[in-house]
């Protein structure tokens, strides 16, 4: 009798331990890491090479194996989508990556997605995904300023933090995020402000939050349309129009604008000084290009936080131009590229630039 009771008790204890273990295993979020290259996958010749190295060398499985602690925060698996330095990203790469992210986000066995990426165009990819992927699930773009082979490499902690955020329920519905250097920034706002320090990424209006030892601390939300509230859907976009950027400083001429249009640009982002200012010598050429159906979108190369006002110093209504609001030229190019898949109307384009 006693022996049976003890046996039953022992069985009950063992099954409770197994169930709780299984339950623990089931409570870990499933996070997919899509690797595209960049410094976070870079390798240098020596530990002292924090700036001299080759980007896009280390495969995703090695990145994951290098941080065993990832398994404490999520059940992780990796896919190597590309292996390139991000300055080489093209519209075709954006489409491929966007479609893969959207497909994974629809899977019930995926709770969050991390994209490892080069720092040079992190801000463009993150903004693009923010505009076209319809999901509440966290999508986190992560990069690093130093290769994993260097002393004080930043990639491992950035990737650990990114996976932790991507698996967090409280990161849902916040739009595409960029996790770097303990900060959680909006993919819409963030830009690479310094190209030689680990504290490289800045949002002119501040980060959304911080992530410290795998815990998120939120301070604000993005007020612009994104992901689930976006009118743009990657599943309905199979081609992206050519939009180019022309940089304007003193003594600017119309040569770049004309040759970019001659190469097929459907819109020109004018990266002007100050309030997206346009030299008087440029206006006739811009009017001619506008009359040929090319859109002129005024942005600014002011780097600590631009804000282009419509009809302030430039008669935008009269010239039928669009203003890029607070978007820097590279972000304005992304939004114009996506917007032109849906409309060619100036008023509609301007609405889109106010709302996204």
Q: How far is the CB of 35 from ligand DAS (least distance, A)?
A: 12
Shorter beta-carbon distance to ligand DAS: residue 96 or 277: 96
If one asks whether residue 190 binds ligand DAS (CB under 6 A), the answer comes out as no
Q: How far is the CB of 201 from ligand DAS (least distance, A)?
A: 11
If one asks whether residue 316 binds ligand DAS (CB under 6 A), the answer comes out as no
36 is catalytic: no
* Count of residues of this chain found to bind ligand DAS when the rule CB under 6 A is applied: 10
Among 120, 123, 124, 326, binds ligand DAS (CB under 6 A): 120
Residues 104-113 as b/e (b if ≥16 CB within 10 A, e otherwise) read bbeeeebbbb
Shorter beta-carbon distance to ligand DAS: residue 85 or 132: 85
39, 119, 300, 337: the catalytic one is 39
Shorter beta-carbon distance to ligand DAS: residue 92 or 249: 92
If one asks whether residue 115 binds ligand DAS (CB under 6 A), the answer comes out as no
Three-class HEC string of the chain: CHHHHHHHHHHHHHHHHHHHHHHHHHHCCEEEEEEEECHHHCECCCCCCCCCCECCCCCHHHHHHCCCCHHHHCEEEEEEEEEECHHHCCHHHHHHHHHHHHHHHCCCCCCEEEEECCCCCHHHHHHHHHHHCCCCCCEEEECCCCCCCCCCCCHHHHHHHHHHHHCCHHHCCCCCEEEECCEEEECCCCEECCCCCCCCEECCCCCCEEEECCEEEECCCCCCCCHHHCCCCHHHCCCCCCEEEEECCCCCCCHHHHHHHHCCCCEEEEEECCCCCCCCCCHHHHHHHHHCCCEEEEEECCCCCCCCCCCCCCCHHHHCCEECCCCCHHHHHHHHHHHCCCCCCHHHHHHHHHHC
If one asks whether residue 191 binds ligand DAS (CB under 6 A), the answer comes out as no
Task: Report the site for ligand DAS in 136-175 (rule: CB under 6 A).
Answer: 143
Shorter beta-carbon distance to ligand DAS: residue 120 or 182: 120
If one asks whether residue 337 binds ligand DAS (CB under 6 A), the answer comes out as no
If one asks whether residue 70 binds ligand DAS (CB under 6 A), the answer comes out as no
If one asks whether residue 86 binds ligand DAS (CB under 6 A), the answer comes out as yes
If one asks whether residue 85 binds ligand DAS (CB under 6 A), the answer comes out as yes
Among 30, 34, 38, 300, binds ligand DAS (CB under 6 A): 38
If one asks whether residue 87 binds ligand DAS (CB under 6 A), the answer comes out as yes
Shorter beta-carbon distance to ligand DAS: residue 85 or 261: 85
Q: How far is the CB of 353 from ligand DAS (least distance, A)?
A: 26
If one asks whether residue 119 binds ligand DAS (CB under 6 A), the answer comes out as yes
Distances (CA, A) of 254 to 179, 234, 257, 270: 39, 34, 5, 11
Q: How far is the CB of 125 from ligand DAS (least distance, A)?
A: 10
**Active-site residue numbers?**
39
Name the site residues for ligand DAS (rule: CB under 6 A).
38-39, 55, 85-87, 118-120, 143
């Amino acid at each position: 009798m006693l022996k049976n009771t003890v046996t039953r008790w022992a069985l009950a204890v063992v099954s409770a331990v197994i169930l709780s273990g299984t339950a623990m295993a089931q409570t870990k979020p499933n996070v997919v890491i899509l690797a595209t290259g960049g410094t976070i996958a870079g390798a240098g010749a020596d530990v002292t090479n924090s700036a001299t190295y080759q980007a896009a060398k280390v495969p995703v499985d090695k990145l994951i194996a290098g941080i065993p602690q990832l398994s404490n925060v999520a059940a992780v698996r990796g896919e190597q989508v590309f292996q390139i330095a991000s300055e080489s990203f093209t519209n075709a790469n954006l489409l491929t990556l966007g479609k893969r992210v959207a497909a994974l986000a629809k899977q019930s066995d995926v709770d969050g997605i991390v994209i490892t990426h080069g720092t040079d165009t992190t801000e463009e990819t993150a903004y693009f995904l923010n505009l076209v992927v319809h999901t509440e699930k966290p999508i986190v773009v992560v990069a690093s300023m130093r290769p994993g082979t260097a002393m004080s490499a930043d990639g491992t902690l950035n990737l650990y933090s990114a996976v932790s955020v991507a698996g967090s329920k409280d990161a849902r519905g916040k739009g595409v995020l960029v996790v770097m250097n303990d900060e959680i920034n909006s993919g819409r706002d963030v830009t690479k402000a310094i190209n030689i320090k680990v504290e490289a990424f800045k949002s002119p209006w501040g980060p959304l939050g911080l992530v410290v030892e795998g815990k998120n601390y939120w301070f604000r939300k993005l007020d612009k349309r994104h992901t689930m509230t976006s009118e743009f859907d990657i599943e309905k976009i199979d081609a992206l129009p050519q939009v180019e950027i022309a940089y304007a400083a003193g003594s600017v001429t119309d040569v770049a604008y004309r040759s970019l249009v001659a190469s097929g640009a459907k819109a020109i982002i004018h990266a002007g000084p100050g309030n997206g200012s346009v030299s008087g010598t440029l206006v006739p050429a811009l009017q001619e290009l506008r009359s040929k159906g090319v859109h002129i979108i005024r942005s600014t190369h002011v780097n600590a936080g631009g804000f282009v006002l419509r009809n302030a110093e430039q008669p935008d209504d009269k010239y039928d131009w669009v203003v890029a609001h607070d978007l820097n030229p590279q972000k304005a190019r992304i939004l114009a590229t996506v917007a032109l898949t849906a409309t060619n109307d100036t008023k509609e384009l301007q609405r889109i630039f106010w709302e996204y």
